[in-house]
Amino acid sequence: MSPFRRLRLVAVVLAAVPLMSGCFLRLALGGVVTRTTGEEVREFFAAVEANATAAVCRERESAEGAREVTCHYFFAGELFPEITSTAQLIAEFGLFGVFIDPLILQVPAVAAPLVATFREDGGPVRPLEMTVTDSFPAAPGRVVNAEPGTRFLILDLPADVASRLPEGDARSGTPFDFRLELRLPALAPVEVKPMFALEVEVGGETFYPPMFPCVTDFALAPAIEIPVADPPVNLRPRIEAAFGQAGSLVCDGEVYDFSSLEPGAPSEVDIDVKPGSDRNPVDPLSRGVIPVAVLTTSVEDGEAADFDATTLDPTSVRAGRGEASEAHGGGHIEDVDGDGDLDLVLHFSTTAAEILCGDTELLLSGMTLDGSEVAGRDSIETVGCAG
């Protein structure tokens, strides 16, 4: 994992509730039914299907250096057409990237997850990423525990799908269909509690800061009942009623502080994307490579820090949100900036680095031969983008 930990915040819906922020819930059907073979009852299960459009949530850097995240949740009904939640993510070493937040569902402990799938805009059915747990960390020193007799299902889109989501109004975002099945011990209604929570990876740990409802006590979260019903019934009224009860539980500038993890932050180094160019143009659709120079610097020469680029392990270096490795497996040494010392020149596949139209910088990370983490960034200008 890169020292520049990625925060991803996206929008979708599942299991009769919005799956990620920035979503527009259009349809939600579900019910608890029996599955039989002939006259014999084989099992009971809760089956839920949902449809939504999704887009990346908006974020910006505040004057204090915090990442301010604003998430919008839309519903097809008129009772609660939009809900907005905002939070600040603090870290002295920086939190960068696209934001995605999974859906966290609290379900009865006796409910065994069978199926959790999605279909992107009429494409093939694929599994969602799913974690089953009794608790999750919200931030350093803040843990969310499941209520007695329950556990959490953390559901997320695969990274390759999330990286393609557009930014902007979720009502015109990417369409998705979702399906969730839970095996049950008896034919009875099932109560679930949903939460939108950011996913933050820092120092080898994954945190889920709550966004909506903005609580660490799930006793305060709204419940949605999946009734005994075959064929499935429209669950959207139950969803709107539950979120109406939790209307005051959105984040309003809530601060999640990760600065206590700062001691493990990488050392900043100077890099130069496309040496010799001031604009650093990058075509996201290119099948070529992006040259990046890691520069040797000296305090004696008026630079911010002493760093010998030849001590960097080229095989450890990763670039972009795709964490692309060096395209040729090595790199070469030369004096790129003409200051008399030796720099390290590396090349990265544009496709593997996952450069997106509108990106304004390229992030790079790696380790020196003695195991010290380093990271750097340089501005880029994307070209060849339609519109």
The one-character DSSP state at 57 is P
Q: The tokens of 188 are what?
A: 């009875």
pLDDT recorded at residue 318: 94
Cα three-residue angle 349-308-201, rounded to 5 degrees: 55
* Burial readout 195-232 (b: 16 or more C-beta within 10 A, e: otherwise): bbbbbbbbbeeebbbbbbbbbeebeebbebebeebeeb
CATH number given to 266-382: 2.60.40
Query: What residue spans define the domains of the chain?
Result: 7-263, 266-382
Q: Is 303 helix (H, G, I), strand (E, B) or coil?
A: coil
Say whether 21 sits in a helix, a strand or coil: coil
The pLDDT tens digits along the chain (387 residues) read 222 222 323 222 333 333 334 567 777 888 999 877 666 767 899 999 988 887 777 777 766 667 788 877 776 555 455 778 888 887 766 554 445 567 899 999 999 999 999 999 889 999 999 999 999 999 888 999 999 999 999 998 888 888 787 776 777 788 889 999 999 999 999 999 998 888 887 766 788 999 889 999 999 998 999 999 988 899 888 887 887 777 788 888 899 888 777 555 677 899 999 998 889 999 999 999 999 999 999 877 777 678 899 999 999 999 998 999 999 888 899 999 988 899 999 999 999 999 988 889 999 999 888 777 888 999 999 998 875
Residues shown for the chain:
387
Q: Is 107 exposed, middle or buried (0-12, 13-18, 19+ CB in 10 A)?
A: buried
Torsions phi, psi of 338, nearest 5? 70, 25
Rg, C-alpha atoms of the chain: 23
